[in-house]
């Protein structure tokens, strides 16, 4: 069993930055692909970024390309999401998740989920 805990969310002005962290406990996540998802109020959950077990392969939603960077530190069992140039449309609850698949793009491909951290971007 893997427990995922996100942190780093908060309130930021448009144009600002935040770094989210997702720390795993219970088992190492070094062999898992990891993903960040977000869900805004009244909207469906969407994939933001994924990273494979080694960190050598990453994928991003078009809406965040060039602004967000996903990375991982397997020694710390932690995945990060660096978010720059934040916009009000980035406001959502952000979740990290773990998958045994390569480049998983759908929520059903993930087996472990965190509780989420809220990101609010003011205009």
Blockwise average pLDDT, block size 10, the chain, 123 residues? 95 98 88 96 97 93 98 95 98 97 93 97 96
pLDDT of residue 8: 98
pLDDT of residue 29: 82
What's the chain's Rg over C-alpha atoms? 13
Buried b (16+ CB within 10 A) or exposed e, 3-18: ebebebbeebeeeeeb
Q: Are 21 and 10 in contact (CB under 8 A)?
A: no
pLDDT of residue 74: 93
CA atoms within 13 Å, Cβ hemisphere of 22 = 31
pLDDT of residue 101: 93
């Amino acid at each position: 069993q893997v427990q995922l805990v996100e942190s780093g969310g908060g309130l930021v002005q448009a144009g600002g930055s935040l770094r989210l962290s997702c720390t795993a406990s219970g088992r190492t996540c070094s062999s898992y692909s990891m993903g960040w998802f977000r869900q805004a109020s009244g909207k469906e959950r969407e994939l933001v970024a994924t990273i494979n077990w080694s960190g050598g392969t990453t994928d991003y939603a078009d809406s965040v390309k060039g602004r967000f960077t996903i990375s991982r530190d397997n020694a710390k069992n932690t995945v990060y999401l660096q978010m720059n140039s934040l916009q009000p449309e980035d406001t959502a609850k952000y979740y990290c998740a773990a998958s045994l698949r390569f480049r998983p793009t759908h929520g059903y491909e993930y087996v472990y989920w965190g509780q989420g951290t809220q990101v609010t971007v003011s205009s």
